[in-house]
Amino acid sequence: MDVQQIAAATDRALLAGRLRLAVTRLNRRLRAQADSGLSPSAQSALATIAHHGSLSLGELAAHEGVRPPSITTTVGGLESLGLVVRGQDAADRRVSRVAVTARGRLRLQRDRSRKTAYLASRLATLGDDELATLERAAGILERLLEDGR
C-alpha cells in the first residue's frame, strides 16, 4: 500500500467515524422527540410488527436480533399498553403470533410525525446549498443501506 492509499483509507475511516457519531446522535434526538414512553427495543419491535404484519414471537426475535425470552418480555409490555395483540397461529396452535392494534398504529404514526416535524424544523434553518447537499447525502445513505448489511 502506498502513501496515497493509506491516506485515502485513513480519510474514509475518519469520515466513517464522523458519520457514525452524527447518525447515532441524530437518532437519539429523534427518539427523544417521539416522547413515546417506549424503550428503543419496544419501539423497534412495534415498528417491525407493523412493517411485516403478523409475526410469530420467534420471527420477531429473529428480525430484532434478540433471544426469544427477551422478545416475550418486550411483547408483553406492548400488549399491556394495548399496542399489540397476541393470537394463535392458524396452522399451528402451539405458535403465538403478534399483530399491531389500531392503537399501536396510531402511536407509531404520532411518533413518526413528531420526529419528522422536529427534523423539518431543523432543516428550515439551513440554506439552499446546504439543503441540496443533504438531498444528495440522503440518496447516498439510502444506497449504502440498500443491501441490508
- pLDDT, one tens digit for every residue, the chain (149 residues): 677 777 677 888 999 999 999 999 999 899 888 787 898 899 999 999 999 999 999 999 999 999 989 999 999 999 999 999 999 878 888 888 999 999 999 999 999 999 999 999 999 999 999 999 999 999 999 998 887 66
Question: DSSP label at 55?
Answer: E
- The answer to whether position 91 is within a domain reads yes
Give me the CATH number covering residue 86: 1.10.10.10
- The answer to whether position 61 is within a domain reads yes
- The answer to whether position 19 is within a domain reads no
- The answer to whether position 7 is within a domain reads no
- The answer to whether position 125 is within a domain reads yes
- The answer to whether position 47 is within a domain reads yes
For residue 108, what are the domain limits? 35-145
What is the DSSP annotation of 63-125? Answer: HHT--HHHHHHHHHHHHHTTSEEEEE-SS-TTSEEEEE-HHHHHHHHHHHHHHHHHHHHHHTT
pLDDT for 72: 93
DSSP bridge partners of 86: 98
